[in-house]
Amino acid sequence: AAPAIPLNDGRTMPQVGLGVWQAPAEVTAEVVRAALTVGYRSVDTAAAYRNERGVGEGVRSSGVDREKVFVTTKLWNDDHGYDATLRAFEASLARLGLEEVDLYLIHWPAPTQDRYLDSWRALVRLREEGRARSIGVSNFMIEHLRRIIGETGVAPAVNQIELHPKFQQTDLRAFHAGQGIVTESWSPLGRGRLLADPVVAKVAAKHATTPAQVIIRWHIDLGLIVIPKSVNPDRIAENFDVFDFRLDDEDMAAFARLDDPAGRIGPDPLAFG
């Protein structure tokens, strides 16, 4: 089983989960079921992925008790604002077919809209009501985090950000650590582009594992939550078979040298949404 990472609200979250970004709606239920069957207990979706129904179906048909599965979904950029957030949350719950989610995230700060603070206030209410058991954000930068914490006194439980060996987010991770925010890595494999890297290949050969497994292990050994995406049952199983080895100091140093200030793959949070 994946280790449980403590959150700043007293709950815990599995350290490894399944990401379903770009999982087609019609295969999502099957993919989620496959993951739960090999031991995953956490699934990360979003309203924007248009596959929340499949996630709910997959959880229900897996035979795993709903209370044993940690379900994350996210507020899309079109739904920022206090009332719009509350409505969008209800719509996500209805699509998932759940009474509560384990974690609700603001997907992007969308700072040009300047409404993420109102959205955050709505998430605080949803947590008070117990419908979102934990609340957090995604793609927030230090300035956005400072603002929501300063205005509400509530720090997000997690900030889910682009993070992989070519984009290591060292400054943001240090800020999170100081605020008790858990860092969650999206596109942890660099969307698959890091799998052919020679440094990764060398570390993988040393541990007799695959490139994907050593990259996932790097996230785990840094204390991050990690949600590799795959729609292939063999790769889903491979990505969860990472709990019987760990990287040593030499491996971690080699990975540290892969960091690249220009390594971002996804959108710039200041400009997006």
Report whether 224 contacts 183 (CB < 8 A). Answer: yes
Please identify which residue in 5, 189, 225, 258 interacts with ligand A2P, judged by CB under 6 A.
Answer: 189
Nearest to 13 by CA among 168, 206, 148, 182: 182
Report whether 166 contacts 260 (CB < 8 A). Answer: yes
188 near ligand A2P, rule: CB under 6 A: yes
C-alpha span between 101 and 206 (Å, rounded): 40
Within residues 55-94, the interface with ligand A2P by CB under 6 A covers none
35 near ligand A2P, rule: CB under 6 A: no
State the catalytic residue, choosing from 40, 49, 104, 116.
49
Report in angstroms how near the CB of residue 253 gets to ligand A2P at its nearest. Answer: 22
Please identify which residue in 114, 232, 246, 267 interacts with ligand A2P, judged by CB under 6 A.
Answer: 232
111 near ligand A2P, rule: CB under 6 A: no
Report in angstroms how near the CB of residue 125 gets to ligand A2P at its nearest. Answer: 32
DSSP per position, 110-134: -TTT--HHHHHHHHHHHHHTTSEEE
The contacts of residue 266 (CB under 8 Å, 6+ apart) are 162, 186, 187
C-alpha span between 67 and 188 (Å, rounded): 26
For ligand A2P, which stretch binds (CB under 6 A), given 116-124, 155-163, 201-209, 227-235? 227-235
Q: How far is CA 260 from the centre of its chain?
A: 21
Question: Based on the number of CB atoms within 10 Å of its own CB, is 176 exposed (0-12), middle (13-18) or buried (19 or more)?
Answer: buried
107 annotated binding-site participant: yes
Query: Radius of gyration over alpha carbons of the chain, in Å?
Result: 18
Q: Which is nearer to ligand A2P, 135 or 203 (CB)?
A: 203
Q: What type of residue is 60?
A: R
Please identify which residue in 50, 60, 191, 206 interacts with ligand A2P, judged by CB under 6 A.
Answer: 191
Q: Which is nearer to ligand A2P, 81 or 211 (CB)?
A: 211
187 near ligand A2P, rule: CB under 6 A: yes
Strand-pair category, 101-106 with 70-75 = parallel
220 near ligand A2P, rule: CB under 6 A: no
Please identify which residue in 228, 240, 247, 251 interacts with ligand A2P, judged by CB under 6 A.
Answer: 228
C-alpha span between 188 and 162 (Å, rounded): 7
Within residues 3-32, the interface with ligand A2P by CB under 6 A covers 19
C-alpha span between 260 and 232 (Å, rounded): 29
235 near ligand A2P, rule: CB under 6 A: yes
Q: Which is nearer to ligand A2P, 70 or 167 (CB)?
A: 167
Active-site annotation holds for 49 = yes
For ligand A2P, which stretch binds (CB under 6 A), given 47-55, 79-87, 99-107, 184-192? 184-192
Which residues contact ligand A2P by CB under 6 A? 19, 187-192, 195, 212, 228-232, 235, 238-239
In the annotated binding site, the residues are 107
Active-site positions read 49
In the annotated binding site for substrate, the residues are 107
